[in-house]
Structure 1
Amino acid sequence: MTTKQIQKLKSPKFIQQIESTLKPLEFLDRCAKDYGDIFFTNSFGNLETLVVSHPQDIQELFNPVNKILDAPGAANEIFKPHVGENSLIMQDGERHQKQRKLVMPPFHGEQTVNYGHQICEITQQVMQHLKPGETFIARHLCEDITMTIMLKVVFGIEQEAKFEKLKTLMTTWLSLTSSPIGASILLLPFLQKDLGAWSPWGRYRRLRQQIDEQIMTEILERRQQVQSSSHRDILSLLIQAGYDDGESMTDIELRDNLLTLLNAGHETTATSIAWALYWIHQQPEFYHKVLHELQSLNTPDPVKIAQLPYLTAICQETLRIYPVSVFTFPRITLRSVNLRGYHVASGTYITPCIYLTHHREDLYPQPEKFQPERFINRKYSSYEFLPFGGGSRQCLGQVFALFEMKLILATMLLNYQFKLEEFAPVAPTRRGFLISPQGGVKMSLAVDTAY
């Protein structure tokens, strides 16, 4: 069999980095058009990386039986300023497996269900601040909700003064990298120069230090309380959890993993809900169909809400059309492998592209159109639909994230009527590491809002 040559992007590395930072989806669409579903790019920092998007390639790579890939923490160096070097994301091999095993349980099973009512209550509390007729930005509102859920459900912060201080610090810190230009200090390491408190990187580092101090204080206090209290927040559960050898997480490991959970579960979920609100209000037939399904419930029970098929399809199609994360985490090949006739050498950095897979015409006809029925009429494999990544680095909070997304959306739609104030199509744009609706989606609360 003739081995096919994998093409490399012809533009200079710095041009690729700038294009992928400022206009990531346009960059990827052009790459797919010019080079197909497998190509080399230099857009990831200093790494030459093989980008794949064909489900057959992804299945071959992620199949645990094949043992083709390693997921080294060093490949995620670009995330270290945001999550810390002791984060699960930065770990390798056995340490990664041990930490993942410890962090995962609070996000699954009965624990997730226990948080359902709390998520609905927090959504209602934040929504009550809106006034009928008032215009708002959907992403801002959703970020307020998900940040509150993070600080109360995950961090377990109950005291109002502590909550407000940490919320302000984190919101300010995350906003520094929210624009495509701001994100460049994370995506282009050569810009990470501390030139004082008013320089972009200097301000970023000082805010991060203040956040670290607040979190470490909270961890210390919680350790003293946890044995004698009934705290069921995720931080308390992690403090009580132990590795197989009886050891528990250090304070620094707890801090970095709390920041990881914040970064992985705050803006991501908020952005997805903002997109969902946009799509279902832009095309009213989707709104009426999902509202009818929600109103058919005798009681807004969180478990029953999470099982609704059309609401699930709405959320899945939202995560398909503009996945908040464009790529999975990078991997490295442990041995050479043949991908549909293309030879990939051992030691190659490789990353599946979620966005390009989700926009394949052969999988999703008219992929640019929002069509929830796709997920009613067909079940997609984890190699065709992978909004939370795959393999050993698959998002461990994906069950919680989808549960949270459904409950927030359901609580909003059951209790309030909204009007979309966007008259032109909303375009996707970079927001930090994520893909977000440009402008955040402008909406208003209907004057006659209660059902």
Structure 2
Amino acid sequence: MNRTELRFALHLLPFLDSVEDFEDGLVKLSDRRWLVWHPDVMAALFRHDRDLRHPPSRTLSPLLGNRSVLWLDGDEHTAYRRTLAPMLRGHRYRALIDEMVERSIAELPSGDPVGLAQWTRKLTLRIIGRIVFGVDDEELLGAFTRWLDRRLGSRVRTLAHRYLTPGTTRFDPHLDRMLLHRATTAEPPALAAFLPPEDLRDQVVSLLFAGHETTASATAWTVYWIDRTPGLADEVLDDPDLLDATITESLRLSPPATLAGNRMSGDGMVLTPSIYLAHRRAATYPHPHTFDPAREQPPPGAFFPFGGGVRHCPGKDLALLEIRLIVTALLRHRRIRLNATTCTPQLRGAAMAPPPSLAMVATCRR
């Protein structure tokens, strides 16, 4: 591993910040790998995505499994997406999301600090857990959260699992048995009836992980930017278009994922798209570090918080609906105050969340 690869692997955000001003929008990481973010390159890459391979993440594949839909290619990938996509259509779950959001807000202690990212993570996991299993199972979801935090809860843990014992899985047999029991006894059988038994574990874990981690981070970042912008909390409640623009700008400036997976050409060249850098490119976004919901729509290839091409997130509409409903309900029922005006992002794999130290104090509106 050369020095550039080492900086990219060990100090991802500082490395990305250090190359932000590269106008050509690409950096050579090694002889066979490039980091890319120029909008023209990204638009072309996503147009030809079906012709490329998508190597597994060395951080996430030991957790999610090699049979995760996130790594499959060709007809197999297409078939799995067709199976999973219907259960991720947001409009089906509006009443469910409303119910679970209201319950979580009611559980907030008035006047006591609560970790913002931890709260959104717990809520979005409850939602995807109900969608996947059809029931609430706090014991199972608690066990899943602890398992995930042991592996991604800090950068040190993530790097240790990735580099000290490479090539080994990070499964928890007891947790897997709990997950498979819930999946096979779900009513209706959302997954077990349509997936081969040998693939069921990997798809369930992938849905739970991808279905809550980035949505939770995006929601927390949206609350953060609203808190930092005087008067915006009241304005977004009266203007749904402004709320959507606020969410979009939060996704631009604080994308919940820094990278959009790997693409490999037929000759073995790997391209890694950087969402983080594409969204902060000064030639595309004037004053890119300024939070501005009034920004004009960017050109193709310049904004892809949910990935792009054939690998774009099938749960995008569900995620956006959750963010809208959570933020709206939270601001309508509570006055929110955060304990800091700035915060250093925490990496969980390639995902970017507010740090555990960022807490919110929620008091009842009168």
TM-score by length of 2: 0.92
Residue 180 of structure 2 corresponds to residue 216 of structure 1: yes
2:77 to 96, 106, 109: 96
CA distance in 2 between partners of 1:362 and 1:387 (Å): 18
| Higher RCO by CA contacts (8 Å cutoff, separation 6 or greater) | 2
Write out aligned runs for 1:152-171 (5 A).
152-158=130-136, 163-171=137-145
Residue 129 of structure 2 corresponds to residue 129 of structure 1: no
CA change 1:173–1:221 in 2 (3 A) is: same
Structure 1 runs not aligned, ≥5 long: 1-11, 195-200, 241-247, 294-307, 335-345
Residue 62 of structure 2 corresponds to residue 81 of structure 1: yes
Residue 159 of structure 2 corresponds to residue 238 of structure 1: no
SS class of match (1:284): coil
- Per-residue CA deviations over 1:228-280 (Å, capped at 9, x if unaligned) read xxx4xxxx33345xxxxxxx311232321111111112121111111111111
2:47 to 58, 63, 66: 63
CA distance in 2 between partners of 1:331 and 1:432 (Å): 18
Residue 19 of structure 2 corresponds to residue 26 of structure 1: no
Q: Which residue of 2 aligns with 1:432?
A: 349
CA distance in 2 between partners of 1:174 and 1:78 (Å): 12
SS class of match (1:90): coil
- Per-residue CA deviations over 1:87-143 (Å, capped at 9, x if unaligned) read 1012121111111121112223xxx22311111111111122222211111111111
Write out aligned runs for 1:27-426 (5 A).
27-33=15-21, 36-42=24-30, 48-64=32-48, 69-72=51-54, 74-108=55-89, 112-158=90-136, 163-176=137-150, 177-186=152-161, 188-192=162-166, 204-205=170-171, 208-222=172-186, 226=187, 231=188, 236-240=189-193, 248-293=194-239, 308-334=240-266, 346-374=267-295, 378-422=296-340, 424-426=341-343
SS class of match (2:123): helix
Moved runs in structure 1, 4+ residues, more than 6 A? none
8 Å Cα contact 1:22-1:430 kept in structure 2: no
CA distance in 1 between partners of 2:74 and 2:338 (Å): 47
8 Å Cα contact 1:185-1:192 kept in structure 2: no
1:21: Cα distance to partner? 4.2
1:394: Cα distance to partner? 1.1
CA distance in 2 between partners of 1:421 and 1:389 (Å): 32
SS class of match (2:57): helix
1:179: Cα distance to partner? 0.7
8 Å Cα contact 2:260-2:273 kept in structure 1: yes
Q: Which amino acid in 2 is paired with 1:219?
A: A
1:69: Cα distance to partner? 4.1
8 Å Cα contact 2:100-2:127 kept in structure 1: yes
Q: Which amino acid in 1 is paired with 2:195?
A: M
Q: Which residue of 2 aligns with 1:442?
A: 359
- Per-residue CA deviations over 1:183-233 (Å, capped at 9, x if unaligned) read 1134x3443498xxxxxx8xx54xx222210111123323xxx4xxxx4xx
8 Å Cα contact 1:62-1:69 kept in structure 2: no
Larger Rg belongs to: 1
Q: Which residue of 2 aligns with 1:198?
A: none
Q: Which amino acid in 2 is paired with 1:332?
A: M
Q: Which amino acid in 2 is paired with 1:450?
A: R
CA distance in 2 between partners of 1:69 and 1:381 (Å): 23
Q: Which amino acid in 2 is paired with 1:437?
A: P
8 Å Cα contact 2:50-2:74 kept in structure 1: no
8 Å Cα contact 2:132-2:183 kept in structure 1: no
8 Å Cα contact 2:20-2:280 kept in structure 1: no
CA distance in 2 between partners of 1:146 and 1:380 (Å): 28
1:417: Cα distance to partner? 1.0
8 Å Cα contact 1:388-1:398 kept in structure 2: yes
1:36: Cα distance to partner? 4.5
8 Å Cα contact 1:182-1:432 kept in structure 2: no
CA distance in 1 between partners of 2:40 and 2:6 (Å): 30
- Per-residue CA deviations over 1:377-433 (Å, capped at 9, x if unaligned) read x223441110011111111111111111111111111111111221x5112231233
Identity %: 27
CA distance in 1 between partners of 2:53 and 2:299 (Å): 22
8 Å Cα contact 1:219-1:251 kept in structure 2: no
1:33: Cα distance to partner? 3.9
CA change 1:37–1:157 in 2 (3 A) is: same
TM-score by length of 1: 0.75
Q: Mean alpha-carbon deviation: is it higher for 402-411 or for 437-446? A: 437-446
Q: Which amino acid in 1 is paired with 2:127?
A: I
8 Å Cα contact 1:184-1:191 kept in structure 2: no
